[in-house]
Amino acid sequence: MFLEVEDLTKRFGGVVAVSGVSFKIQKGEIVGILGPNGSGKTTLLSLLAGLLAPTSGRVLWQGRDISGFKPDAIAAAGIVKTFQNPQLFAELSVHDNVMIASHLALKRLLGSRRLGTFFCAKGADRELQIRAERVLELCRLTAVVDKPATNLSYGEEKMLGVAMAMMCEPKLLLLDEPASGLGHEEVVHLGLVLRDLREHGTTLCIIDHKVAFLADFAHRLIALQNGMKIAEGHPKDVLSDPTVITAYLGRHHA
């Protein structure tokens, strides 16, 4: 079993953001998480990525308990998360942003020998540059490679976030609302990128509001409301579940 979430709970003072959520993700799956605002989706992803520590419950990754691990340890273990509001390294170019993200790849490539790359970085650097170029091409960012990250359009910023995550060669990629704020063409392109990722063997877990986009794409959907899981299963089944419809659209639509 790839990822196992057991009874995960997160409390902020008096507010319970995530309450007793449990689910599993298999290798190669695309799992979508949906729910209205405030249902705990982003908190759940932050818990999985190590940005928040759980109040109770466990997260198991490839059999290991990673609950409460720091974000960099979780990334090293193979789980990487993107941000809903694109997080970038401002001032630096797109290329530099992606190269920063190459740290994990460098570690895996050279191990402790990377200390030796101080004075002569040629070999490893070239390998990483090639990977960076490939990732940028995939995310259609080659045209803006030298632009400062702050000068990008919103869609380009989101793709940069995905590109940086991809540089980390994640086994499980957590995407927080990747399609939000994107125009139609950009959403289509995002779908292509994600499909390509899946072909490369990356498992995906996506939060989004665009229910149609998720339903189209995901193998399985999980619905949250008020921090709790209210439905799980094949997209068609989840979307026709009356509890889910009530949560999203209100009582009289059920």
Contacting residues toward another protein, per CB under 8 A: 49-51, 70-73, 75-76, 80-81, 83, 87-92, 96, 99-104, 106-107, 114, 117-119, 121, 164-165, 167-168
Query: Is 21 or 80 the residue whose CB approaches another protein more closely?
Result: 80
Query: Is 61 or 213 the residue whose CB approaches another protein more closely?
Result: 61
Query: Is 79 or 218 the residue whose CB approaches another protein more closely?
Result: 79
* Residue 249: how many other CB atoms lie within 10 Å: 11
**Tokens at 189, concatenated:** 């392109």
- Least distance in Å: CB of 128 to another protein? 9
* Residue 16: how many other CB atoms lie within 10 Å: 17
Tell me how many degrees the CA angle 235-241-245 measures, rounded to the nearest 5: 100
Cβ neighbours of residue 200 under 8 Å, at least 6 residues apart? none
Query: Is 76 or 228 the residue whose CB approaches another protein more closely?
Result: 76
- Least distance in Å: CB of 229 to another protein? 24
- Least distance in Å: CB of 202 to another protein? 15
> Using an 8 Å Cβ cutoff, are 66 and 60 in contact?
yes
- Least distance in Å: CB of 168 to another protein? 6
Cα–Cα distances in angstroms (integers) from residue 57 to residues 19, 68, 80, 222, in the given order = 9, 10, 20, 18
How many residues are present in the chain? Answer: 254
Query: Is 141 or 167 the residue whose CB approaches another protein more closely?
Result: 167
- Least distance in Å: CB of 72 to another protein? 5
Whole-number Å distance between alpha carbons of 149 and 18: 33
- Least distance in Å: CB of 231 to another protein? 29
Query: Is 79 or 223 the residue whose CB approaches another protein more closely?
Result: 79
The per-residue b/e assignment along 58-88, b for 16 or more CB within 10 angstroms, e otherwise, is: ebbbeeeebbebeeeebbbbbbbbbbbebeb
